A = this chain, B = another copy of it.
């Protein structure tokens, strides 16, 4: 029992040849019922499991996919979205017996490592997460021609990296319309970083609805952190003290904005209505609870996996997928 059983051992026990065992393993046609049964029994008896390395060596397939998290070191910030995404992806891939290797791409060294790993043929596909615009790693991946998809668009590379995402733009419109319908007249926004799809598109949706009323003065940029929500709100209040609503592009930043508003003595929603985005766990723990836009995050992750599997299975081209968002009305707006 010191050594793990090999395909030879199984063959010996079953009284057949290597080839037949291999055929059973990969359920090829042309295996007699008797042989099939004997092999199955032998596998159970010996506790055999195939050695993926040996298999990969000849098939040139690895049975694994690498997920790349692109966030600079210093922003190890706690985005609950990651957990959901990772778990969903792992689960879906597991059904196909594909394993998920995690890599982070925070600095250039990391990015090189990812490239080397992929170029080394250690993965059948790449799943990009939170990739920033202008990332050279993306071009390298395209160059290697490995199946690659992204959760959330890769800004500037939409045509070459298929993705699945929530409809950020329409979500922003939903929220902005909601604020207008509630009778708000002076609506500001705090956006995400302008090199991320969420940052760009949620601002576009906001502008779509407000048209020329979305003046430069009413726009502040954050970086998704709670702190940036606080300071963005402070700047807005200073510049436009009479604003009566603010659409904040993430719940976490909205929590920050709420703190600033409270400190400034503004009541929410009476004086200022606040709308968030994400419907993450934060939305329920603020006071008052956040009116926000729900993204179907699990579904987005599933769709992303589906796209990747299609590419791995040989699809020439797959269409990106945009899933609808939904307005969740609570008390902040």
A184 to chain B, nearest CB (A): 23
Q: How many copies does the complex hold?
A: 2
A7-15, A81-89, A171-179, A204-212: which one contacts chain B? A81-89
Given A57-B54, A79-B83, A121-B4, CB of A282 within 8 Å of CB of B285: yes
* Interfacial chain B residues near A298, Cβ < 8 Å: 76
Pair B78/A90 contact, Cβ less than 8 Å: no
* Interfacial chain B residues near A52, Cβ < 8 Å: 53, 120, 122
Partner of A282, one of B62, B119, B259, B282: B282
Partner of A94, one of B91, B103, B284: B103
Given A52-B122, A62-B53, A285-B286, CB of A83 within 8 Å of CB of B90: no
Partner of A86, one of B56, B57, B102: B102
Pair A226/B99 contact, Cβ less than 8 Å: no
Complex CA distance for A49 and B76, rounded to whole angstroms = 30
A29-37, A110-118, A162-170, A231-239: which one contacts chain B? A110-118
Complex CA distance for A122 and B102, rounded to whole angstroms = 15
- Some 20 contacts from A to B, beta carbons below 8 A apart, are A4-B121, A50-B120, A51-B120, A53-B54, A53-B57, A57-B57, A67-B102, A69-B87, A71-B87, A76-B84, A77-B281, A78-B83, A80-B83, A82-B83, A82-B86, A91-B106, A100-B102, A100-B103, A101-B101, A102-B102
Given A53-B56, A64-B101, 17 additional A-B pairs, CB 8 A: A4-B119, A4-B120, A49-B119, A51-B120, A51-B121, A53-B53, A67-B102, A69-B90, A76-B298, A78-B281, A79-B83, A82-B86, A94-B110, A100-B102, A226-B284, A282-B285, A285-B285
User: A-side interface residues toward B, CB under 8 Å?
Assistant: 4, 47, 49-54, 56-57, 62, 64, 67, 69, 71, 76-80, 82-84, 86-88, 90-91, 94, 97, 99-104, 106, 110, 113, 116-117, 119-122, 226, 252, 255-256, 258-259, 262, 280-282, 284-287, 298
